[in-house]
């Protein structure tokens, strides 16, 4: 029996790990849905096989019973008006037992698969550069203002420039770190929306697949039952006509 996979716990995972875990979960979920459909069809096939055996046994029993009735009827020798005995047989042979139809189950196609959006580090990097641009521009302007000043002492100029460059280096790290956090948050929101859209699309496809599988499986079963009833009714009608023929022949002969 197929066991439905549990929803994974994604707390504390990185975005890429979450993507990998969700992709694995959705793949297992699709395999479960497909296995469940196969098991449902196997159960339906087993039910049909049991019904078929019952029908075959019933048809064989009815045919044997009716043939015994025929033999008993033929053993009766009616007496004509002249007192001579002569056997009375029906005008045509009794119908053969009807053949049980073969059940043709619906075989569903492969279940839809979940396609998660890819986590794009390049997009995050590009967005980081875009968000960092104003801060980097401001740092360059500060360094340019420092280097553009006139200092009375070369030593003071060197010290000032050294301090400005040190501040520029630490400032770049701070700007890029802040811009990276902002970019990651913005991209994470976009990725979350894309993931949700993919999940909803997958859910819709799975619902459609399950509905179509159930409908076509039920249709195959309904068609089988209709064909079985058609053959059973046809056999019964043929049998009733034969019995009527036997009765008519016997009556007309014994008069």
- List, for residues 194-218, the tens digit of each pLDDT value: 888 988 898 899 889 889 988 988 8
Distance CA 237, CA 242 (A): 9
Q: Token pair of 124, please? A: 């995050």
Which residues are bridge partners to 79 per DSSP? 85
Backbone φ, ψ for residue 88 (5° rounding): -115, 120
CA distances from 17 to 12, 24, 127, 221, 233 (A): 10, 11, 21, 45, 63
Q: Across the 255 residues of the chain, what is the mean pLDDT of every consecutive 10-residue run?
A: 68 68 72 75 75 71 65 53 48 65 82 83 91 88 76 74 77 87 88 87 89 89 88 85 68 44
Distance CA 47, CA 105 (A): 12
* pLDDT for 128: 92
> 144-173 burial, b if ≥16 CB within 10 A, otherwise e?
eebeeeeeeeeeeeeeeeeebeeeeeebee
Which residues are CB-neighbours of 28 under 8 A, at least 6 positions away? 5
* pLDDT for 252: 46
Which residues are CB-neighbours of 244 under 8 A, at least 6 positions away? none
Q: Determine how many CB atoms are found less than 10 A away from the CB of residue 88.
A: 17
The residue among 130, 132, 134, 163 whose CA lies nearest residue 146 is 163
* pLDDT for 89: 46
pTM of the model: 0.53
C-alpha neighbours within 13 Å on the C-beta side of residue 158? 3
Backbone φ, ψ for residue 11 (5° rounding): -65, 135
CA 92 from chain centre, in angstroms, equals 54
Distance CA 159, CA 47 (A): 92
DSSP, collapsed to helix, strand or coil, labels residue 204 as helix
Report the chain's terminal Cα–Cα distance, integer Å: 70
The residue among 255, 247, 233, 252 whose CA lies nearest residue 98 is 233
Residue pair 245/92 in contact by the 8 Å Cβ criterion: yes
């Amino acid at each position: 029996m197929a066991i439905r996979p549990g929803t994974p716990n994604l707390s504390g995972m990185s975005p890429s790990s979450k993507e990998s875990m969700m992709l694995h979960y959705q793949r297992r979920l699709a395999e479960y849905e497909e296995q469940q459909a196969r098991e449902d069809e196997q159960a339906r096939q087993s039910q049909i096989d049991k019904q078929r055996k019952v029908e075959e046994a019933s048809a064989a029993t009815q045919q044997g019973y009716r043939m015994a009735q025929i033999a008993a009827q033929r053993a009766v020798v009616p007496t004509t008006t002249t007192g001579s005995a002569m056997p009375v047989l029906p005008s045509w042979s009794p119908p053969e037992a009807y053949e049980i139809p073969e059940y043709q189950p619906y075989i569903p196609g492969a279940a839809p698969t979940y396609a998660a959006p890819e986590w794009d580090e390049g997009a995050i990097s590009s967005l980081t550069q875009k968000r960092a641009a104003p801060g980097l521009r401001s740092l360059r302007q500060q360094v340019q203002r420092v280097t553009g000043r006139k200092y009375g002492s070369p030593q003071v100029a060197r010290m000032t420039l050294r301090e400005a460059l040190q501040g520029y280096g630490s400032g770049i790290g701070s700007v890029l770190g802040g811009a990276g956090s902002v970019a990651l948050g913005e991209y994470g929101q976009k990725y979350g929306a894309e993931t949700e859209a993919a999940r909803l699309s997958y859910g819709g496809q799975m619902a459609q697949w399950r509905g179509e599988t159930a409908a076509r499986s039920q249709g195959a079963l309904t068609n089988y039952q209709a064909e079985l009833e058609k053959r059973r009714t046809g056999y019964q009608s043929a049998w009733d006509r034969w019995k009527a023929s036997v009765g008519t022949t016997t009556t007309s002969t014994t008069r």
